[in-house]
Amino acid sequence: MTTVYEQRAAPAVPLEARRSPAGLLLALLWAGALAVVALWWADTRSVVGAAGWLTDGGRIAGLLCGYGCAVLVALMARVPLLERRIGSDRVARWHAMAGRYTICLLVAHVTLILFGYAAQDGSGIVHELTTVVLTYPEMLKATAGALILVAVGILSARAVRRRVSHEFWYYVHLLTYAALFLSFGHQLALGADFTGNSLAQAAWYALYLGAAALVVWFRILTPVRLNLRHRLRVESVHQETSDVFSVVVRGRHIDELRAQPGQFFRWRFLAEGMRWTSSPYSLSAPPRPDLLRITVKALGGHSASVPLLRPGTRVWAEGPYGSLTADRRSSHKVLLIAAGVGITPLRALFETLPGQVTLLYRARTAEDLALGAELEAIARWRGARVVYALNGADGSRPPFTAQTLRAAVSDVGGHDVYVCGPDAFARDVYRALRAAGVPDRRIHHESFEL
């Protein structure tokens, strides 16, 4: 059953060039790292001998590791400015990259400090390790924190993560907060750059307390307020194709969420077997004052349980997140390219984007075209085009090349293009779009496959 929402176009938004805050944020993060190195530089008069070089290398690595830990927490605090203006997927990629750097810095810090101390004392590395861990203040807690961080880093490696469930990875990942709490004390107690430097200590406290405040506000208090205020429940579940289902969620004062077509929420359905998992699903229709709708493909685990939801089931949601919205366009001509269930955010945009809009929808067969009746109705209502790219009779997939894109949309180079689908598909489409003359700044994509 297809659920058709009232059709309406969003008001036109100005098309002046918009500057993404991504470059500014990266500049600020690198400036912070330089400030940390400057702290070491200002506190170091000279470096003498191998022991000195090893120890000071360990100091720099430790300072940068401590800074990186605070940055990691802040990046994943789900700050709306970052989630909506930069994009959740890009922020998550930055978090993953910063996590790899931070773990490497942690290993370098421990290794260099131990070898430096051993060289200075003329002792063996095992003896130095035992002495540092068991006799230095705050070091037992710091050691436990370091082991947790390394374990989380190993578990987050792509080859390992693929072999564990998302739930296990997620809950182990939460131990990062405990690791930082355990490790913080030794930074100030043993850090030569903080001893007697009240300004540096105050800045370090501000850095960590600021990151903690972001987490408490945006990951705890904001979701609690959202769900107490809006009291979301499952209204109905509708089958779109053999393995794609739409869930309509009813709530109070939903317009106050200011959700936009193209955005997503993280959904936790308080039903048996589902309450411990939160999954990101895009809105598949423009939000209404009392209703939201998502469309989910039953792939296994959480999504396979969605068709079993019953009306009245309580819903815990966080959001809205994502930057795949009308605000990113810079042209009155837009091309939407979807594959499979990637149609969900683009279906909402197809209804609401002003101007000339074309939708190119890739699926295996006509039976796999989720929300197809709605797309046809919207196309007729607004005079837009829908182009389907289906497998051939022998199962072969139609190629996405610069030539095929130009054949579908003759002036594709003058369009803003929104792409949603599996990462491999999105990469192929991106290359084809660039070859067809679409500027990089006009290609908009957001991915949950991180």
> Is residue 29 a part of any domain in this protein?
yes
> Is residue 15 a part of any domain in this protein?
no
- Same domain flag for 347 and 413: yes
% of the chain exceeding 90 in pLDDT? 63
Q: For residues 98 and 68, is the Cβ–Cβ distance under 8 A?
A: yes
> Is residue 3 a part of any domain in this protein?
no
Residue 13: predicted pLDDT: 39
Residue 17 has pLDDT above 60, yes or no: no
- Same domain flag for 280 and 315: yes
Domain termination residue (choose one: 203, 225, 247): 225
Residue 300 has pLDDT above 80, yes or no: no
List pLDDT tens digits, range 45-65: 778 788 899 999 999 999 999
- Same domain flag for 182 and 241: no
Q: Which residue do the tokens 């945009």 mark? A: 349
> Is residue 64 a part of any domain in this protein?
yes
Token pair for 436: 């067809």
List pLDDT tens digits, range 195-235: 889 999 999 999 999 999 999 999 999 999 999 999 999 99
Residue 449 has pLDDT above 70, yes or no: no
List pLDDT tens digits, range 143-167: 999 999 999 999 888 888 888 877 7
- Same domain flag for 221 and 238: no
List pLDDT tens digits, range 377-429: 999 999 999 999 898 877 788 888 999 999 888 899 999 999 998 888 999 99
- Same domain flag for 252 and 344: no
List pLDDT tens digits, range 122-132: 989 999 999 99
Average pLDDT over residues 255-261: 94
> Is residue 87 a part of any domain in this protein?
yes
- Same domain flag for 106 and 139: yes
- Same domain flag for 362 and 408: yes
- Give Cα separations from 263 to 82, 242, 257, 293, 326 (angstroms): 13, 25, 11, 12, 10
- Same domain flag for 243 and 202: no
Residue 23: predicted pLDDT: 86
Domain termination residue (choose one: 204, 225, 246): 225
Q: How far apart, in whole angstroms, are the C-alpha atoms of residue 362 and residue 398?
A: 9
- Same domain flag for 172 and 250: no
3 state SS for 67-117: HHHHHHHHHCCCCHHHHHHHHHHHHHHHHHHHHHHHHHHHHHHHHHHHHHH
- Same domain flag for 282 and 340: no
Q: Whole domain around residue 58: which residue ranges? A: 22-225
Residue 43: predicted pLDDT: 82
Nearest C-alpha neighbor of 250 from the set 288, 308, 290, 293: 290
- Same domain flag for 178 and 295: no
Q: How far apart, in whole angstroms, are the C-alpha atoms of residue 209 and residue 203?
A: 10
List pLDDT tens digits, range 338-377: 998 899 999 999 999 988 999 999 988 888 888 989 999 9
Residue 441 has pLDDT above 60, yes or no: yes
> Is residue 333 a part of any domain in this protein?
yes
- Same domain flag for 383 and 310: no
Residue 257 has pLDDT above 80, yes or no: yes
Number of domains observed in the structure of the chain: 3
Angle at 412 between CA 406 and CA 414, to 5 degrees: 150
% of the chain exceeding 70 in pLDDT? 94
Q: How far apart, in whole angstroms, are the C-alpha atoms of residue 425 and residue 68?
A: 33
- Global pTM exceeds 0.85: no
Confidence label for 20 from pLDDT (cuts 50, 70 and 90):
low
Residue 225: predicted pLDDT: 96
Residue 7: predicted pLDDT: 45
